[in-house]
Structure 1
Amino acid sequence: GDDAEEELETQLEPVPLPLAGAQRMFIVQPRAGDLKQRRAAELQVAEAVALVNTLHNWTVVDKIILPTKNLDQKLIFGKGNFQILTEKIKRLPQATAVFLNLERISTLTKKELEDAWGVNVFDRYTVVLHIFRCNARTKEAKLQIALAEIPLLRSNLKTEVSHLDQQRGGSRYIMGSGETFLETQTRLLRERELKIRNALENLRRKRSILRAQRQRREFPVISVMGYTNCGKTTLIKALTGDAGLQPQDQLFATLDITAHTGYLPSQLAVIYVDTIGFLSDLPHDLIGSFSATLEEVAHSDLILHVRDVSHPETVQQKASVLSVLKNLNLPSHLLDSVIEVHNKVDLIERYEPAEPNAIAISALHGYGLEDLKEEIERTVLKATGKKILTIKVNLTGPQLSWLYKEATVQEVDVMPDDGTASVKVIISESVLGRFRKHFPQ
């Protein structure tokens, strides 16, 4: 029951990694091989910088690309380059950590590097996991992240045990239990993993019940998705006007805190949800947690897919966003109505989108936003089954106040002579049916 769930939640508090708080990062990008690899390494560094910048009070103090012949050697780099790197880190007293932009480094390598450099060393897995953790709002996302932490905890445990064994020679059994420290901890981790998986299953069952209740929501919800650094947040600011960035909390109890209200040309209020940015080469074990942080997207009425068309890999980025969308099990009408937004066209001369249904904009300079809003409105009205109508009402009766309560009233044009008014409303089919039943003409 709920008590068991409460207890599980306290157990599943994410294990603290040494990442919280402000970090001043030095980014190290190993590069194998030739010139072609150099260009790839530059893009990887740009993405690592973007990753660090998505985190509150994390900053990049410096970055470097260093060649290496063999990524599998214990210290990643050959002797000479390792020396250069170590000296550089020592000359950066303000750096609190090194972000070595490789998918995973072994706990042994991590420990050696930390001993040599005197700062924390993080790989891509740890940094991305931390970003997801900071972006997880739903219970499900938090559980998925706890699950993704298990492999890290396992490898940390092994290092810790071998370290203890070196100190005291051989393994000790835990007081009379016949179980070594390693066996106990391994068992606890296995139990933890099982509990998380069960809790996830329960949540999924519960959520399908909740979803039915949530369909009654008033405001159309628009999910804004795209690659890290494609300009999602700038676009949302441009569409909402900064004043719109303080939505009323009670309406959004079910959405996370990156929900912002905006108005379409017809004055229809909509909610824009800023989702977590996509990455290339997402560490494979993290795909589950990533999808979970995108939970909300399935419940939106429309998806905006924002692309930075000035980016050299914009085509690959589009492909990776679309493949994640397909794996989210979204309803087909949502997938079919995605609006593709080509952002940053101010950086390209005379840009013409190749895709027929794309809208070219510059969120920064406000170019193309009116076209985009009109397209959003058209799609949202269609998706939600709402219409814009003018209804004639009698001002002596309760019709006007009924419309204010049940629909979105756009404007009221009063005819003083005969006590009626023409009311322009945005109204759904079902509400219109109820209105006609209540007030037969």
Structure 2
Amino acid sequence: MLTIKFIRNVIKTIPRTFSTTLIRKTEEEFAEKYIEDVLESDNEYNEVVDNILHLKDIHSCLIIQPYVKWGPRKLTITPEEQLEEAVSLIQTLPSWKVVDTMKIPLESLANKSLFKTGNMEKLSNIIVSNPEISAVFINASNLKRVTSDILQENFRIPILDRYKIVMQILKMHATSKYAKLQVALAELHFVRRKSQNDFFHTHDPEVLKLMFQNREQKIKKAIQELRNQRMLLRSNRRKLDYPVIAVVGYTNAGKTCLIKALTGEKSLQPKNQLFATLDVTVHAGILPSGLEVLYVDTVGFLSDIPTNLIECFIATFEDAILADVILHVEDVSSSCFEYKRNHVLTTLKDLAKKSGNKDIMNKIMSVANKSDLVDVNIPNSLPISAKLGTGLEELRFKLEETVLQATARNVMTIKVPSGGNEMRWLYKNSTVVTEIPDENNLQITKAKVIITDTNLSKFKHYFLKNKRL
């Protein structure tokens, strides 16, 4: 049986070796000329952002989870599960803390003040009597301006919603220039829509409008340039003919941890927090046969996010859309496993419609990660533990089987003259697994290769012609 060390040594001889580090560096250098101009210090704009988001300071939060008790608007995820995720969001922000949590049942989330008089008074008394509470986090997607104003008037402290908190987390985790631009655009959409309260009566509306327009034009231009560059880099990867496996899943499902376990890449540092990965990164790995593949680590999915925020990050999922295989990593230990699964699959379906790629759903292969924490059996999902390494060997073989089928690759043995041009061509245009002398003729080498249908046809045309393999 071939060892990983031997396989790596073989791959080193292949001239088409791919450098993910080089591609990331190229993208960053390309972005550098845009980032300073687009995201330069703008005191007036920053003042607008600070007064809308109220996130300049570190907060100790009271988290309120409103939920609909019954009817068609009642969610399948429980209030307890929603509240658990809200706590995780706050804990993702450095030095922020949760003072207390509350669940408030409502008949509807459409009420202008959100809460009726009784609940409003009860909450006001709780907040006033606890000086430790510096902000209230209403775990709802995006509060209307009038609702936020009413709540702030009653509670007398900043009101945060899910959009504001997620935006702050995204800003914190955006490390590449591309991600920073995406976050800046998402923030701008939010700030523009929220900029009609009393604070801005002292500002010239036309000046604000012009400031927003100029910033948006710069950001969109820079993003489009970077997307064009990414398309070029992606095209180069396709020319190298490496199979691509996109790793997707709900945030904190263990995607990065699994990629590190499959590739052995020491630079990857998985974190037990929401949105630990914001930038799309590419990592080389080897399947059991010696076939080298690229794992694409994508942004984690999160439910109850406003549409325009999702739209700003559509580009980060393009690699998943175009991948040969989509590996859906699921946290089987999560109390809202089914809800998260449905959210990821529904989002992927929406992406498929928008991209016109109807084959996305046929590319998906699911793994039940963190299976060491619970004793459950998920149909059509391979149980694994990326942290402990259990189930990974079976996963590698299953991935190989899926990749070979998806990319029209063949595993076969070809007899070629020893030391001839045929062998050199095979090393350049296929994955050579083994090469051993023919027991009946030492002038002939039996090469076990993994080769695409297209390259196999080329090989026959160049070298075999009327000969048989």
Q: TM-score, normalised by structure 1?
A: 0.73
Partner of residue 101 from structure 2, selected from 61, 64, 70? 64
Distance 1:240 1:272 in 2: 8
Once the two structures are TM-superposed, the CA of residue 341 in structure 1 deviates from its matched residue by 1.8
Once the two structures are TM-superposed, the CA of residue 327 in structure 1 deviates from its matched residue by 1.8
Once the two structures are TM-superposed, the CA of residue 325 in structure 1 deviates from its matched residue by 1.0
| 1:351 alignment partner in structure 2 | 377
| 1:109 alignment partner in structure 2 | 149
Distance 2:373 2:218 in 1: 50
Secondary structure at the aligned position of 1:332 is classed as coil
Secondary structure at the aligned position of 1:215 is classed as helix
Once the two structures are TM-superposed, the CA of residue 302 in structure 1 deviates from its matched residue by 0.9
Once the two structures are TM-superposed, the CA of residue 339 in structure 1 deviates from its matched residue by 0.6
Tell me if 1:303 matches 2:326.
Answer: yes
1:268-347 matches, within 5 Å, as: 268-328=291-351, 329=355, 331-347=357-373
Partners of 1:138 and 1:293 within 8 A in 2: no
Partners of 1:50 and 1:229 within 8 A in 2: no
Letter in 1 for 2:124: F
Distance 1:270 1:58 in 2: 39
Partner of residue 252 from structure 2, selected from 204, 225, 229? 229
Tell me if 1:146 matches 2:185.
Answer: yes
Once the two structures are TM-superposed, the CA of residue 336 in structure 1 deviates from its matched residue by 0.9
| 1:26 alignment partner in structure 2 | 61
Partners of 1:30 and 1:101 within 8 A in 2: yes
| 1:433 alignment partner in structure 2 | 457
Deviation string, structure 1 residues 111-153 (Cα, Å, up to 9, x no partner): 9479944xx6532112223445545868599358515622423
| 1:160 alignment partner in structure 2 | 199
Distance 1:299 1:291, change over 3 A: same
Range with greater deviation from structure 2 (153-162 or 66-75)? 66-75
Percent same amino acid at aligned positions?
34
| 1:421 alignment partner in structure 2 | 445
Letter in 2 for 1:431: N
How big is the alpha-carbon RMSD for the aligned residues of Structure 1 and Structure 2?
A: 4.4
Distance 1:362 1:23, change over 3 A: farther
Distance 1:123 1:243 in 2: 37
Range with greater deviation from structure 2 (64-73 or 323-332)? 64-73
Which segments of 5 or more consecutive residues in structure 2 lack a partner in the other structure?
Answer: 1-32, 270-277
Secondary structure at the aligned position of 1:418 is classed as strand
Distance 2:40 2:407 in 1: 38
Aligned residues: 404
Deviation string, structure 1 residues 198-239 (Cα, Å, up to 9, x no partner): 887888889878765553133222111111232323322332
Secondary structure at the aligned position of 1:382 is classed as helix
Range with greater deviation from structure 2 (378-387 or 184-193)? 184-193
Q: TM-score, normalised by structure 2?
A: 0.69
Which segments of 5 or more consecutive residues in structure 1 lack a partner in the other structure?
Answer: 1-5, 165-179, 247-254
1:163-202 matches, within 5 Å, as: 164=202, 181-190=204-213
Distance 2:89 2:190 in 1: 22
| 1:250 alignment partner in structure 2 | none
Once the two structures are TM-superposed, the CA of residue 296 in structure 1 deviates from its matched residue by 2.1
Partner of residue 81 from structure 1, selected from 123, 126, 139? 123
Partner of residue 122 from structure 1, selected from 160, 165, 172? 160
State the structure with bigger RCO (CA 8 A, min sep 6), 1 or 2: 2
Letter in 2 for 1:125: Y
Distance 1:21 1:220, change over 3 A: farther
Partners of 2:65 and 2:82 within 8 A in 1: no
Distance 1:23 1:361, change over 3 A: farther
Distance 1:30 1:344 in 2: 27
| 1:251 alignment partner in structure 2 | none
Partners of 2:258 and 2:386 within 8 A in 1: yes
